[in-house]
Chains A and B, each alone.
Chain A
Amino acid sequence: MPEQSNDYRVVVFGAGGVGKSSLVLRFVKGTFRESYIPTIEDTYRQVISCNKNICTLQITDTTGSHQFPAMQRLSISKGHAFILVYSCTSRQSLEELRPIWEVIRETKGGANELASIPIMLVGNKCDETENREVSAAEGEAEAKSWGCHFMETSAKTNHNVKELFAELLNLEKNRNISLQLEKKGQLKGTRKLKEKCMVM
């Protein structure tokens, strides 16, 4: 089955071990684990509201440990919005993001189009103050030079996680997306979605 046209796809990139999975899991499931397990690729779904309709928010948690350009490009070409995660405790992880951002820029076309694509630069692990290598100001400056938005988060302390995704969806100007739907109740949303599928 082809992907649903009203899917809204968010792709999370970042070097290995910066906390992509933790961030996504914190958002999706509200949990945090100390485990240390590499991801190959995971996709999570969430029902959200989009243009007053129901649509699926797909969050793709990519791997930081493999450099498979084809996979990366595919994710980028299919993604609508991007979260670039680095760890405040590793300058290296911030530098790793630049090539990814460049691929996004190339894949997504010119400057005008790029500006309309929601991209968040995220400094995770902001709770680890003693190990911090990248200051918030530096991250902010980097984000500015890339023309994207910036936020510091901590999946561990649940700092700014929800805000991150809310902000990301707010950046999407082509649709009116919000996370609010969940409050309305699960069943209803699901049913609507099903109907939609049947129509299609």
Chain B
Amino acid sequence: MEMYIMVSREAEIARILVDYVHLQKKQHEEALCHLNETLPELFEMIVGNPMKPMFGLMLEEHLRLNNCKIAYPIELCTRALCQIGMDEEGLFRVTGGASKVKRLKTCLDAHCIKFDEALDYDAHVLAGVLKLYLRELPEPLLTYALYEDWLQAARADQSETRLQSLRSVVSKLPEAQFDNLRYLIKFLAKLCENQAVNKMTSQNIAIVIGPNILWSSEERMSAADSIGINMNTASAYSVIVDCLVTHAEYFFPGPEDFCVTNMISAPASNAKSTGDASAPASNAKSMVNGHSRASSADASVIITDSNILRSQSNDSIQEQGVGGGGHLSSGGSHDSPRPITRRKNKPAPGPPVQKPAQQSPTAQTTSNTSEAGHSDHGESVKSLLKTAPSSVTFGNESSPGSKTYVGNFIAHEKKNAVGDSSSRRLSETSDQPVKPGVIISSGGNTVQSSGGNHHIATSSSVTNSDKVVSGGRSTIVDVNGSSGSKSITNEPTNVSVNTPDSKTNVGTNNLSSKQCDVNSVQGESNRGSNTRLISGGGGSKGSNNIMSKSVDSSQSMAGGGNPFDEDDDEKEEVSASAASSTITVDPSTRHKVENIYATYDRKAGPNRPTPAPRSIPIYAEDAGVGTKKPAIPERPPVLAPRPLSSSFRIPRPGNMPDPWMIRVQPVVPN
């Protein structure tokens, strides 16, 4: 009997099923729609984001993003070396610790290295990082376009003509390359003056630096096969660099000031970047921490600190964050002990960015602001922005009166505060009628929606934030000149309908916990990517995390992992993690289904194969030797001054008629 009833209702059930499928379809379509809207914004964010990893980024791009003339890694290393490395024997020759080099590189990529921190590194590490940076440039400092010109110039027999032709090539360099080359060569020349101590003569410097600033596109592309070709050019590179260094004054007359940016002296930069109003506010974040004991503050602190304490565990970070907060809060107005030198090269344009009109010390704003932000759906983004800064950076400015917020802040804030802190805050303040719907966090950028409606707010402005909170101490948000004008487009889109509070909260908790995980992971991975939205475009490698999570009322499933790329994965396209959760729709109860995929294929940057070997003389000699008896290459007498390196010595004009030939002389073995 029962069975018959079931069978008879089959059609009905089937219809319900179809309805269900329809609903699902609708839901997916909506989600797709939103995603389509979101993706371009995210992409825009990524492209304009100045927080791209520095290594592997086009020089011009780097300079543009940072609004500086000298690439930051070059300047940082150079300046540090000027202080601690000039007497180091074998500077640039002796390798630094690989792990430390990697660590410093990662710090630079994560934009959280300050000048005085760089001084803690070994000189060889700094030199290694400098070489690494030059080597990893997508295009050599001396440029592909002029490659032939360089070689041609280096081949000149006469020293005079060579100098002249080299100079003409130098003058052809684009401005960015010229400035950086000048800077570098000036430094090397200075280093060379000290050769009695550091043993780095101009020739030695040339040998070790040459292959780092010039290579042909073939070399870069070359795999094992074409390696042998480069043997002859290696010495040419050395000649070029040797000439440049030896005659630095000829090529680049005038003194060079290695202190290009004012960032290094911290307090000054601090004041400049943040402006007068914000100068005291630089520690506003810390103040906030102290005042608002809320989760938000904690979270934000954690996040920001995780940047700095790159390799520390979450716990320690947390500890530090809290501790720092308290400490700073006590001395509310004093400047943070360590200046923000997160971005050295920031143009200091920012000052007026935002003037905290009211320094209302409402640090407890966290709860308030969060509420406000959530209640105000139409301006959810704005409110978020506000709240974020208030909770994280400038507690003062969170007061709703100040709408003067500039997008730049927001980005930063969002990254730090909105993302993790807010979610956390939500979860912790579960008693409030907050219904966070969707949190899309990309990189550290989180868009949060709350209230009855789910907002997907994506801010494209993240890109603009030039500065991010550095340390637990102070915050500088800066407008990047180029992309600074971008408006923060926050588009709250109402996606779905009510979800039961309790469930939502659960979902939020999940989210927050997940994000905590993310934090920890990121912290461990040394990327400090929390605060950073890493670009998909432009060959940036590194972790590109775009996480989308949607809260599911009935069940939250997180599909998809959180892939955090290791920084050494250079080539593979990084797909952002897509955590999608689907609300299963129960036909009877009308739940809106919301599904968000935010899978972001990182735009595969120009594939950068591992640096091509400069030269592989190994078997090249075979060709020449042929039927000759194998012999120990003997150094021709003319090479006496540089006896050790048989195939790569710097030919001196006149001495070696044909320096480009490999000489293998049949020699009687001992």
Docked-complex contact A1 and B622, CB < 8 angstroms = yes
Docked-complex contact A67 and B95, CB < 8 angstroms = yes
Chain A, range 23-77, C-beta contacts under 8 Å to B: 25, 28-30, 33, 35-47, 56, 58, 60, 64-75, 77
In the bound assembly, the distance between CA atoms of A30 and B647 in angstroms comes to: 19
Docked-complex contact B204 and A74, CB < 8 angstroms = no
Residue on A nearest B205 in the bound complex, by CB = A38
In the bound assembly, the distance between CA atoms of A182 and B625 in angstroms comes to: 19
A95 interfacial by beta-carbon distance below 8 Å: yes
A176 interfacial by beta-carbon distance below 8 Å: no
A21 interfacial by beta-carbon distance below 8 Å: yes
Docked-complex contact B644 and A33, CB < 8 angstroms = yes
B467 interfacial by beta-carbon distance below 8 Å: no
Docked-complex contact A38 and B208, CB < 8 angstroms = yes
Docked-complex contact B610 and A40, CB < 8 angstroms = no
In the bound assembly, the distance between CA atoms of A56 and B628 in angstroms comes to: 12
The size class of the interface chain A forms with chain B is: 35 or more
Docked-complex contact A68 and B611, CB < 8 angstroms = yes
Docked-complex contact B211 and A1, CB < 8 angstroms = no
**Chain B hits for A99, CB < 8 A:** 98
A16 interfacial by beta-carbon distance below 8 Å: yes
Docked-complex contact A194 and B647, CB < 8 angstroms = no
Instruction: Identify which of A15, A36, A78 contacts B618 (C-beta below 8 A).
Output: A78
In the bound assembly, the distance between CA atoms of A43 and B623 in angstroms comes to: 14
Docked-complex contact B614 and A66, CB < 8 angstroms = yes
A193 interfacial by beta-carbon distance below 8 Å: yes
Residue on A nearest B642 in the bound complex, by CB = A37
A180 interfacial by beta-carbon distance below 8 Å: no
Q: Is the interface of A mostly helix, strand, loop or mixed?
A: mixed
Instruction: Identify which of A21, A65, A186, A198 contacts B644 (C-beta below 8 A).
Output: A21
Instruction: Identify which of B90, B96, B615, B619 contacts A40 (C-beta below 8 A).
Output: B615
In the bound assembly, the distance between CA atoms of A68 and B615 in angstroms comes to: 10
Contact (A96, B633) CB under 8 Å given A29-B670, A71-B614:
no
**Chain A hits for B670, CB < 8 A:** 28-30, 182
**Chain A hits for B89, CB < 8 A:** 17
**Chain A hits for B627, CB < 8 A:** 194, 197-198
Q: Give chain B nearest CB distance to A199 CB in angstroms.
A: 12
B612 interfacial by beta-carbon distance below 8 Å: yes
In the bound assembly, the distance between CA atoms of A60 and B615 in angstroms comes to: 12
A116 interfacial by beta-carbon distance below 8 Å: no
Docked-complex contact B204 and A75, CB < 8 angstroms = no
Q: Give chain B nearest CB distance to A93 CB in angstroms.
A: 8
B234 interfacial by beta-carbon distance below 8 Å: yes
Docked-complex contact A17 and B90, CB < 8 angstroms = yes
Docked-complex contact A46 and B208, CB < 8 angstroms = no
Contact (A193, B630) CB under 8 Å given A37-B642, A38-B93, A99-B98:
yes
**Chain A hits for B643, CB < 8 A:** 33, 35, 37
Instruction: Identify which of B124, B208, B648 contacts A41 (C-beta below 8 A).
Output: B648
Docked-complex contact A16 and B95, CB < 8 angstroms = yes
Q: Could you mark each residue 628-670 of chain B with 1 if its beta carbon is under 8 Å from any beta carbon of chain A, else 0?
A: 0111110000000011111111000000000000000000111
Docked-complex contact B614 and A67, CB < 8 angstroms = no
Residue on B nearest A14 in the bound complex, by CB = B95
**Chain A hits for B223, CB < 8 A:** 70
Residue on B nearest A22 in the bound complex, by CB = B644
A157 interfacial by beta-carbon distance below 8 Å: no
Chain B, range 269-326, C-beta contacts under 8 Å to A: none
Docked-complex contact B632 and A58, CB < 8 angstroms = no
**Chain A hits for B211, CB < 8 A:** 40, 66, 68
The 6 closest A-B pairs by CB, nearest first: A71-B613, A190-B629, A45-B630, A40-B648, A56-B630, A37-B644
Contact residues of A with B, CB < 8 Å?
1-4, 9, 15-17, 21, 25, 28-30, 33, 35-47, 56, 58, 60, 64-75, 77-78, 92-93, 95-96, 99, 182, 186, 189-190, 193-194, 197-198
Q: List 9 A-B contacts (CB under 8 A).
A: A15-B94, A16-B94, A17-B89, A35-B642, A36-B204, A37-B642, A42-B617, A64-B94, A194-B627
20 more CB-based (< 8 A) A-B contacts, given A1-B625, A194-B629:
A16-B93, A16-B95, A35-B644, A37-B207, A38-B93, A38-B645, A39-B644, A40-B614, A45-B632, A45-B633, A46-B669, A47-B630, A64-B94, A65-B92, A65-B93, A66-B131, A66-B208, A71-B614, A78-B618, A190-B629
